[in-house]
Amino acid sequence: MYAGKNRGAIVTLTANPSLDRTVDLSGVLVRGAVQRAAGIHEEPGGKGVNVCRALAASGSPCAAVLPGDNADPVVQALRSAGIAHRNLPIGAPLRANLTLTEPDGTTTKINLPGPELSAAVQESLLALTLDACSGTEGTGPAGWLVLAGSLPPGVPPDYYAVVAHALRSRFGAASPLLAIDSSGPPLLGALLHDAMPNLLKPNGEELAEVTGIASGDELEADPVLAAGAALTLVERGVSAVLATLGARGALLVTADGAWLATRPPVIPRSTVGAGDSSLAGYLLAQTEGRTPPECLRQAVAHGAAAASLPGTTVPSLEQTDPGAVTVTPLELHPVPASSARRGPATPTPKEQD
Ligand SMILES: Nc1ncnc2c1ncn2[C@@H]1O[C@H](COP(=O)(O)OP(=O)(O)OP(=O)(O)O)[C@@H](O)[C@H]1O
Ligand SMILES: [Mg+2]
């Protein structure tokens, strides 16, 4: 387990960024009907971009690396929001994702595939990411590199593993710590080679998918089983697994112990991007040198705050309430054979962007 204060900046890579449009419906979504919207929010998005927005909201140094032309609406939005970024022009428009939220917080997401990235662009994006991780003159290398979200068409599913390997080859012992938050083939592909991440942030479905243990719903409902599933990833070489369990909070499993964090229910307004805010909360605490259970506490405080804010709005540290979160040690038990699914992992229905 990594430890101690880590003051380097945080770099995120978002290979498939988007302009996130959230439409607040004034009633329940009805298929085939013409409906009124109460409002619309537009934010630059994609998981790594969201993590950067959440870190920036708390004044933590962060840079978002992404493909995108200077005039692309996503890049323009980052510029006008004052979010530090390094964009790689690709000569094609980025995608826009649509989220429909109903008054009771139910959300429907429609995600587009994004522009295809050629092998040459993929290589340039990797080079730009490593360059951003070197820091600027006077600052050391980045403290963390976060690889987050889906991969656009043309990018092989093991791209994150390739980036991880290149990062560690380039920086050796001074390598930034590596966090991964993805799903489906890019998540499975990230763990294909030997460069295991220092932190993996699955939700229940992703944990089920990447371990082949139980289902997402079963893991969300049973934190001891979820911790046992996460432990199998620690045994494969992942230093820490931060598994978020929606309204049920989150758990952290490392080689040194496991903890569960819960809090009283909040009234959710939009849970889109809650997981990205959780990851940002964890990283904020970790870069301040806090203990693993305290990092977990901040992750859940951030996630709950994000869930109670509209659209993909991200909370600042001041908008979170870590005191409302209860953290308890969890005993680790091996997963019973009856919970281990056989055969290949089934694709997750919840697309990760
Ligand atoms: N309905 C909810 N009520 C309270 N807190 C929630 C709710 N949904 C999410 N959270 C908070 O947000 C955190 C992350 O949520 P979740 O596990 O759904 O992440 P996720 O599926 O990765 O989200 P996404 O990928 O859409 O950002 C949870 O650990 C919890 O703290
Ligand atoms: Mg997520």
Predicted confidence at residue 95, as pLDDT, reads: 96
pLDDT in tens, 315-332: 999 999 999 999 999 998
Residues 283 and 299 in one domain: yes
Whether residue 347 has pLDDT greater than 50: no
User: Ligand 2 centroid vs 119 CA: distance in angstroms?
Assistant: 27
Residue 286 inside a domain? The answer is: yes
pLDDT band at 104 (very low <50, low <70, confident <90, very high): confident
8 A C-beta contact, residue 353 and residue 273 = no
Residue 270 has pLDDT above 70, yes or no: yes
User: Which runs of consecutive H residues, i.e. helices, occur in 172-309?
Assistant: 184-190, 204-211, 216-221, 223-235, 274-287, 292-307
Mean per-residue pLDDT for 192-206? Answer: 95
| β partners of residue 99 | 22, 109
Query: Rounded CA gap, 246 and 85, in Å?
Result: 29
Cα 91 to ligand 2 centre (Å): 29
Are both 145 and 241 inside the same structural domain?
no
- For ligand 1, say whether the CB of 274 is within 6 Å of any of its atoms: yes
Are 164 and 237 in the same domain?
no
Share of the chain residues as helix, strand and coil, in percent rounded to the nearest 5: 35, 20, 40
pLDDT for the residue 136? 67
268 in the same domain as 215 = yes
With the most atoms of ligand 1 within 8 angstroms of its CB, the residue from 47, 219, 244 to mutate is 244
Final residue belonging to a domain, choices 197, 224, 245: 197
Domain finish residue from 197, 216, 239: 197
Output the residue whose Cα is nearest ligand 1's atom 7.
Answer: 247
- In tens, the pLDDT along 209-244 reads 999 999 999 999 999 999 999 999 999 999 999 999
Provide the CATH number for the domain around residue 288.
3.40.1190.20
289, 1 contact by CB (below 8 A)? no
- Residue 100, in any domain of the structure: no
Same structural domain for residues 289 and 313? Answer: yes
Q: Both 51 and 188 in a single domain?
A: yes
**Does 165 share its domain with 81?**
yes
Q: Specify whether 129 is located in the same domain as 273.
A: no
How many angstroms separate the alpha carbon of residue 286 from the centre of ligand 1? 20
CA separation (Å) from 257 to 191, 195, 254, 322?
A: 22, 22, 5, 21
Residue 229 lies in a domain: yes
Q: Is pLDDT above 60 for 350?
A: no
CA angle 142, 93, 20 (to 5 degrees): 70
User: Using CA atoms, how far apart are residues 38 and 152, in angstroms rounded to an integer?
Assistant: 32
pLDDT value of position 212? 95
351 lies in some domain: no
Atom of ligand 1 nearest to the CA of 273: 27
Task: Pick the atom of ligand 1 nearest to 105's CA.
Answer: 1
Q: Give yes or no for residue 340 having a pLDDT over 90.
A: no
Ligand 1 atom 9: the closest Cα is on which residue? 246
Both structure tokens of 210: 């990447």
Q: Which of 148, 176, 197 is the last residue of a domain?
A: 197
- Both 177 and 264 in a single domain? no
Domain that holds residue 61: 7-19+43-92+115-197
Task: Please report the sign of the dihedral spanned by the C-alpha atoms of residue 330, residue 285, residue 83, residue 157.
Answer: negative
Ligand 2 centroid – CA 31 distance (Å): 26
- As given in the structure block, the two tokens for residue 154 are 């043309």
Phi-psi region of 59 (alpha: psi -120 to 50; beta: other; left: phi over 0): left
Average pLDDT over residues 95-104: 91
pTM of the model: 0.94
pLDDT score at 106:
85
Q: Is residue 101 situated within a structural domain?
A: no
Please give the pLDDT value at position 87: 98
Backbone angles phi, psi at 8, to 5 degrees: -65, 155
Q: Domain check: are 234 and 170 in the same one? A: no
**Region for residue 114 given its phi and psi (left: phi exceeds 0; alpha: psi -120 to 50; beta: otherwise):** left
Q: Which tokens in the block code for residue 209? A: 């998918």
Average pLDDT score over the chain: 92
Instruction: Note whether residue 231 is domain-resident.
Output: yes
- CA 191 – CA 255 distance, rounded (Å): 18
**Count of domains for the chain:** 2
**Does residue 350 belong to any structural domain of this protein?**
no
49, 203, 269, 309, best to mutate for ligand 1 pocket (most atoms within 8 Å of CB): 203
Q: Whose structure tokens read 């380097």?
A: 8
- Of the candidates 104, 26, 28, 107, the one whose C-alpha atom is nearest the C-alpha of residue 267 is 104
pLDDT band at 256 (very low <50, low <70, confident <90, very high): very high
Place of tokens 């004034």: 26
Q: Name which residue sits closest to atom 13 of ligand 1, judged by CA.
A: 303
Whether residue 190 sits in one domain with residue 311: no
Pairing label, strands 62-67, 10-13 = parallel
- Rounded CA-CA distance 163/130 in Å is 9
213 and 321 within one domain = yes
Residues near ion ligand 2 (Cβ under 5 Å): 275
Residue 268 lies inside a defined structural domain of this protein: yes
CA 352/CA 188 separation, integer angstroms: 13
